[in-house]
Structure 1
């Protein structure tokens, strides 16, 4: 499986496809507690569940990312001694402050870790941080789960 170079773009909302705009609406309904489930939210904005799941981890409101300066990263890692420590060193060296850490119990030599980090004092851009993390030999996958609150 080849490594995918992720790049991020700022795009005006009026040129986003309707399904991406509706995905953002669903996320906002869920965040504000206006609906009790994803199913209820997608029905309310007339979006298929499959479209929501396709775009939910790919589109984010820009103002939330700028205002909160917080992102959540998901990692799929090989379970080795010092893995989490090395991962956190890269994050700290980039000037990020770790807000939360959640690690699953390793199964078959692999574990999932979710990190929420404050990027307000980050000294490199997010793409460079992602590239540094992907270069760690124990990182199988890293992706941005969310930005904002």
Structure 2
């Protein structure tokens, strides 16, 4: 009948009810170290503890949702020696486990590369990994195209 997506959706924040947005705010304050306790966070967010505990395990930033998953990155890289090696080096340094690499033929000086990466042992978060890959000379485009 319908597509089974395991109940996970990407939703724009502005359409969420206030209690869920306040839960996100409280979790962010805790994560950034702005508060030390849940009590402090919910007080600053003007949220009840019961609402926080009701929603806290169901809302998280997109990149946090990629932990302990296999994500597929799509890159456009310049046709020059060492770019793919350097990208794989960034992934290895972050302790990402490369599962597959698919590289297309270069066209007009660039090639598309899809890399499936297991993130279970990843140092830092996915955004940090992507920032590191984006710093590699020769990487022209990078995006997450899938996660499982």
* 1:76 Cα deviation from its structure 2 partner: 0.5
2:11 corresponds in structure 1 to: 16
Q: Is the 8 A contact 2:75 2:113 kept in 1?
A: yes
Question: Could you say what the CA RMSD is over the residues aligned between the two structures, in angstroms?
Answer: 2.6
Q: Which runs of structure 1 show a deviation greater than 4 angstroms over 4 or more consecutive aligned residues?
A: 12-15
Measured against aligned partners, the alpha-carbon deviations of 1:44-90 in whole angstroms (never above 9, x if no partner) come to: xxxxxxxxxxxxxxx89x5xx45x51100000110111111111000
Larger Rg over CA atoms: 2
For residues 88 and 13 of structure 1, the distance between their equivalents in structure 2, rounded to whole angstroms, comes to 29
2:42 corresponds in structure 1 to: none
* 1:134 Cα deviation from its structure 2 partner: 0.9
Number of aligned pairs?
92
Measured against aligned partners, the alpha-carbon deviations of 1:11-50 in whole angstroms (never above 9, x if no partner) come to: x979936xxxxxxxxxxxxxxxxxxxxxxxxxxxxxxxxx
TM-score by length of 1: 0.55
Pair 1:82–1:70, CA change in 2 (3 A): same
2:99 corresponds in structure 1 to: 99
For residues 123 and 147 of structure 1, the distance between their equivalents in structure 2, rounded to whole angstroms, comes to 18
2:134 corresponds in structure 1 to: 134
For residues 102 and 13 of structure 1, the distance between their equivalents in structure 2, rounded to whole angstroms, comes to 27
Pair 1:79–1:96, CA change in 2 (3 A): same
Matches within 5 A, 1:79-98: 79-98=79-98
In structure 1, the gaps of 5 or more residues are 1-11, 18-58
Measured against aligned partners, the alpha-carbon deviations of 1:93-147 in whole angstroms (never above 9, x if no partner) come to: 0000100110001112100000001010001111111111111120100000011
TM-score by length of 2: 0.56
In structure 2, the gaps of 5 or more residues are 1-6, 13-61
For residues 14 and 103 of structure 1, the distance between their equivalents in structure 2, rounded to whole angstroms, comes to 30
Matches within 5 A, 1:32-111: 62=65, 65-66=66-67, 69-111=69-111
